[in-house]
Amino acid sequence: MRSLPMLDLHVEYAYMKPDIDAAIQRCLAHQKWILGPEVGELESKLVEYLGVQHAVGTSSGTEALVLSLRALSIKMKGQDYFDKADEIITTPFTFTATGDAILRSGATPVFVDVDPKTYNIDVSRIRSYLKENSSKAVGIIPVHLYGQSCNMDDILEIAREYNLFVVEDAAQAFGGMWKGKKLGSIGTLGAFSFFPSKNLGGFGDAGMVSTDDSEVASIVRMLLKHGGKDKYNVDYIGYNARMDTLQAAVIGAKFRFIDEFNARRRQVAELYTEGLKDFKGIKLLEILAAAYHVYNQYPIGVIEGGRDELQKYLKSKGVSSMVYYPFPLHRMKVFESGRSKAYKELLHAEQAAQSVLNLPIGPLQTRENTDYVIEAIKGYFN
């Protein structure tokens, strides 16, 4: 029987081995482990690739979000943390880190429901929340879930109208675009993750902040090095959240392949879509015409026959699958007890959490394996 992982990192490494090995060897030769030359080199590559003024390497995508918000608080309010009364609007259907970063910045997350067609934040809900509560909101964090862009035209329009910052959570969307513009370069800031399973993944944790705002970029740089320009005389409550040299080397080596790999992910996704589109019992997500989707994940909504049963069946056929995410954020203890707000019912997020199943996808996944997954799903429903 076949054994199909969600993503085969062994195959990817074999494909890029000479580049990655050479990059690691270079680090072994220079021994500059903290903020070695690879970090700055990767930042320069991303400045050019994303079309932004600044890219700052961080220790993870989570820290990229936290540092972004903290830097905005310092710039906007002149204080280390937001006040609890400051609200940041985001989706409840995301990885914990998105909402957690808001709590860690001192602000209150406000969860508004998702659009059931894309599982991304429902922009009309943001608008109606702001109509009722505009004075408290300071910003929005749209999450480009699974690699598909949110509707950035609408989000920017609302942000302008209400004078809000926009931090794009582009953790799952490296190389994705909205109307030809790279995600992470559209809002006030972008936050990326290079977690190993991301489209551009390291051999451990790493992340990146992107922005055109020089002041914010320089505050982020201070915060990730304990909070000061001078490590031994600091201004702000800081972190040790630098990007690791070795990660920068690996990510820098893999960077050459990112456009090719994203195109390949899109081909795998097309096969899934073609194979599953007319299938009763399964809902496929809608792809916005203006979005260049980079498919960090390929989700299906299991609307008949039981999601967990399908997952078990696939497992019996050697096919891995994952539920991203089983709990919407507003259902988690950490966001309870007055720490966050939910705007009206979050029914679509609840439904998504109950029905979504993510199928194996990777740039080097063979057509044979993708067909095998499709046939296994069909087998279950037949």
Closest CB to ligand PLP among 183 and 377? 183
Residue span 173-212 as binding mask against ligand PLP, x where in contact by CB under 6 A, dash where not = --------------------x-x---------x-x-----
Strand partners, 137: 87
Asked if 120 is part of the footprint of ligand PLP (rule: CB under 6 A), the reply reads no
What minimum distance in Å lies between the beta carbon of 365 and ligand PLP?
A: 20
Q: How far apart are CA 377 and CA 313, in angstroms?
A: 9
Q: Which of 4, 97, 107, 186 binds ligand PLP (CB under 6 A)?
A: 97
Closest CA to 199 of 74, 337, 61: 61
Site for ligand PLP in 52-71 (CB under 6 A): 60-62
Asked if 223 is part of the footprint of ligand PLP (rule: CB under 6 A), the reply reads no
Q: Which of 143, 150, 310, 349 binds ligand PLP (CB under 6 A)?
A: 143
Question: Per residue in 114-147, is it b (16+ CB within 10 Å) or e — as a string?
Answer: bbbebbbbbbebbeebbeeeeebbbbbbbbbbbb
Question: Per residue in 152-191, is it b (16+ CB within 10 Å) or e — as a string?
Answer: beebbebbeebebbbbbbbbbbbbbbbeeebbbbbbbbbb
Asked if 169 is part of the footprint of ligand PLP (rule: CB under 6 A), the reply reads yes
Q: How far apart are CA 133 and CA 295, in angstroms?
A: 34
Closest CA to 105 of 150, 140, 65: 65
In degrees rounded to 5, what are phi and psi of residue 305?
85, -5
What minimum distance in Å lies between the beta carbon of 375 and ligand PLP?
A: 29
C-beta nearest to ligand PLP: residue: 61
Asked if 311 is part of the footprint of ligand PLP (rule: CB under 6 A), the reply reads no
Total number of residues that touch ligand PLP (CB under 6 A):
15
Closest CB to ligand PLP among 224 and 276? 224
Asked if 108 is part of the footprint of ligand PLP (rule: CB under 6 A), the reply reads no
Q: How far apart are CA 66 and CA 64, in angstroms?
A: 6
Binding site for ligand PLP (CB under 6 A): 60-62, 94-95, 97-98, 143, 169, 171-172, 193, 195, 205, 207
